[in-house]
Each structure stands twice: as structure tokens, then as C-alpha cells.
Chain A
Amino acid sequence: MSRNVLERLLHRLCVDRREKQRFQEDLEGLLERHRLTEEEKTMLRSMDVGAMQRHGVNPMLTIGFWFENAPDPTPRAYMKALADAQAPGPARSR
């Protein structure tokens, strides 16, 4: 089940310094190493935490992923990303 692979990668992006570095420096290479769907890759590229939650990802992982990897790793920015994801409109780019 793909959600599990996405959760595994998100967990590593919370706790593994090398994976976090790859996310910043070689995102496409990182994504190729995991059996993710195109939809899931898009969620990671756009850091669409709302879509991840709708996909079944545990919210503890989406908030951890955000705090460890987002350009603005603040609770305020995370909550705004969740709110934006609930509003109609295109996904944000990172």
C-alpha cells in the first residue's frame, strides 16, 4: 500500500539528517528511490500536507515533516499550509 511507503519516507525526513539533506539538494533523485505514485511525488514536491492527510498520512508525520524541512518551519506557516490545502485553488509550490 503506497501510503505506507510515503509514511516511511516522511518518517525518515523527520529523523534522518541525510534524507533531509537529499530532500533539499536532490529532491527528484530522492523521489526516484521510493515506490511512490505520481500523486504522492507531487505532494512532496509541493509540501502539500493537507493532501497528505487526505491520503491517510498520520498528522504527526505531516507536522514533523514540515518542521524539519519547510522553508518556514513555524506552526503559523504549517497551519496556513493546511488551511490553504482546504481552500479551492492550485497547490502551492515550494
Chain B
Amino acid sequence: MGKIVGGFLVPHDPMMFLAPEAPPEEVRGRMWAAFEQCADRLAKLDATAVVIVGGDHYFNFGTDCLPQYLIGTGDVDGPLDVMPGLKRRAIPDSQDLASFMARHGHDNGFDWSVARAFTVDHAVAIPDRLIVDPVRTRGKTIGTIPVYVASGVDPYISMSRCAALGGAIRAAVEAADDHERVVLIGSGGLSHWIGLPQMGQVNEAFDREILSYACSGDLGAMTRLSDEYILSHGGNGGMEIRHWVVAMGAMPGAHGYLIDYAPVPEWVTGLGFVQLIQ
């Protein structure tokens, strides 16, 4: 059987690329270093694949089709939304495992939407580029499997369904080939108000509440947060903690090690970095 060998909860803040020097030097240095530390920690896990869980920013999907949850089973590239220092390019994939995960879900009550050739946006491309790519350059072969959940555009996927989806990912990995060693990356959050008049505000209290649940492995507390509470205290961008819930749902009983956190209004969000350890 395959195995989930670790997890990370990280931001995917495009402002790090669009306005790299906006925050104080000490803060921005810590945030880039946190990504590097995630890469170093990933390198020690000897992973064969990473599942990066993100959410659409009303960019990949339009009103014609808004999937609740989707997995990329074929060729992957990105980001769709190129930016300075983050050009579009092919992303190493893990097609056999991703296809198996989709089939396993379909056989077990999880009707994945499937992207057979997928250009991801920055939600997946940033952690892939900053955490996974540095490990590839050290000689490791790691395929990226993108998973998107409906966190940015209504109707939103429920928090409890995200936790269950994490469980479905775990069940699929454990039914996969023995050699598979999979790491989950929940990409997003923490508090931010995308496109709203409050954009630039950060609610540190909300951020630390979410980090405390992540570090104590309290998935129940996460799933009990109402959408109204999240939108009010964490903004529409705070709904991205759903991506963290998927990763936590795939690692029941795991606790989190806080790598770093900073509220960074210049980058319009609170940036939290957690490693999930089972």
C-alpha cells in the first residue's frame, strides 16, 4: 500500500512576486526563508508525489462550470496567471497515481471532476515552484497532483466535505502501489480580503486561531467554523483554509509544527507555514 508521509500548510501569496520588496526586509526575508525551510523538510520525506490543494480565483473556471472538487490526472503546467519571476512552464506530474485516485474516489462515493490537461493558477504553481521544485533540483523525482476545491466562488464546498475529501485522498493513496510516498500541501489562507474594500487588512487573531487548530490537529474545530464566521473574520480569502482542512483530513491525528507566521499587510494577508507530522 502507498503511504502519506507528510503534509504542509502554506500560503500562495502572489504579492510576494508582484511587490517583493513591499514589506520590511526582516519580514519578507523570514517569509521566503519559510518556503525554503518547507523545501528542506520535504526533501527529508523521500516523497514520490505531492498533492497540492488549492482553489480557483474565478480564473480557471467560469460560470459555465464550477466544480466542487477537481483533480488533475494528466499533463500539468502553470501558472495560468503568469507574473514576474513565475513564468508558465510544464510541471512534473504523477498521472498514474492521480488517475488511480480519481477512479478510487468514483468507486467510493467521491465523484471527482477531472482535468486531463490542466493549467493551474498560482494556488498550485507557487508552492510547486517554491517547495517542490527545489527538491527536484536536488535529484528527486516528484510528481505534482493538483486538487482544486470550491473555496473562492459560490456555491462553496462545505468544510466537512473538505475533511472527508482528505480522507478519500488518504484511502486512495493507501490502496495505491507500495512505492508511493505522498505529501499533502494545503495551499492558501490565512486572513485576506481579495478585491474588497478591506483588502490589505490582516486579522492576526483569526490567523492565530486557525494556526492553533492546525498545530493541535483539531480538525473538528476547523470544520465547525461557519462560512459566516470565516468571511467576517478572515475575509473571502480566509475561505482558503478549506485547502488546509483537506490536508488535515488526509492526516487524521497529525499535529502541526509551526514553521513561521507573520501578518503582512503589504502582501495583503497573514502568511502561515505549518508542517503536519503524524
Contacts from A to B (Cβ < 8 Å): 4, 7-8, 11-12, 14-15, 49-50, 53, 58-64, 75, 78-79, 82-83, 86
Q: Once the chains bind, are A8 and B199 in contact (CB under 8 Å)?
A: no
Contacts from B to A (Cβ < 8 Å): 57-59, 62-64, 152-154, 193-197, 199-200, 236
In the complex, what residues of A have CB within 8 A of residue B63's CB?
A: 4, 7-8, 11
A77 to chain B, nearest CB (A): 13
In the bound assembly, the distance between CA atoms of A4 and B62 in angstroms comes to: 10
In the bound assembly, the distance between CA atoms of A79 and B194 in angstroms comes to: 11
In the bound assembly, the distance between CA atoms of A91 and B68 in angstroms comes to: 37
Of the candidates B153, B199, B200, which one forms a contact with A58 in the assembled complex, judged by CB atoms under 8 Å apart? Answer: B153
Q: Once the chains bind, are A83 and B197 in contact (CB under 8 Å)?
A: yes
In the bound assembly, the distance between CA atoms of A58 and B193 in angstroms comes to: 12
Closest residue of chain B to A50 (Cβ to Cβ) is: B197
In the complex, what residues of B have CB within 8 A of residue A8's CB?
A: 62-64
In the bound assembly, the distance between CA atoms of A39 and B200 in angstroms comes to: 30
Q: Once the chains bind, are B58 and A61 in contact (CB under 8 Å)?
A: yes
Q: Once the chains bind, are A53 and B196 in contact (CB under 8 Å)?
A: yes
In the complex, what residues of B have CB within 8 A of residue A59's CB?
A: 193-196, 236
In the complex, what residues of B have CB within 8 A of residue A12's CB?
A: 62
Of the candidates B64, B153, B200, which one forms a contact with A60 in the assembled complex, judged by CB atoms under 8 Å apart? Answer: B153
In the complex, what residues of A have CB within 8 A of residue B236's CB?
A: 59-60
In the complex, what residues of A have CB within 8 A of residue B58's CB?
A: 11, 14, 58, 60-61, 64
In the complex, what residues of A have CB within 8 A of residue B200's CB?
A: 79
Which 9 A-B residue pairs are closest in the complex by CB-CB distance? Answer: A59-B195, A63-B195, A11-B62, A60-B58, A8-B63, A82-B197, A59-B196, A60-B57, A61-B58
In the complex, what residues of B have CB within 8 A of residue A53's CB?
A: 195-196
A85 to chain B, nearest CB (A): 9
Of the candidates B57, B153, B154, B197, which one forms a contact with A86 in the assembled complex, judged by CB atoms under 8 Å apart? Answer: B197
**Given A8-B64, A58-B153, A59-B236, are A14 and B59 also a contact pair (CB < 8 Å)?**
yes
Closest residue of chain A to B197 (Cβ to Cβ) is: A82
A87 to chain B, nearest CB (A): 11
A72 to chain B, nearest CB (A): 16
List 27 A-B pairs, Cβ < 8 Å.
A8-B62, A11-B62, A11-B63, A14-B58, A49-B195, A53-B196, A58-B58, A58-B152, A58-B195, A59-B193, A59-B194, A59-B195, A59-B196, A60-B58, A60-B59, A60-B152, A60-B153, A60-B195, A61-B195, A63-B195, A64-B57, A64-B59, A64-B195, A75-B199, A78-B195, A79-B199, A83-B197
A8-B62, A82-B196 given; name 9 further pairs at CB < 8 Å.
A4-B63, A11-B63, A15-B59, A15-B62, A59-B196, A60-B58, A60-B195, A62-B195, A86-B197
A58 to chain B, nearest CB (A): 6
In the bound assembly, the distance between CA atoms of A8 and B57 in angstroms comes to: 14
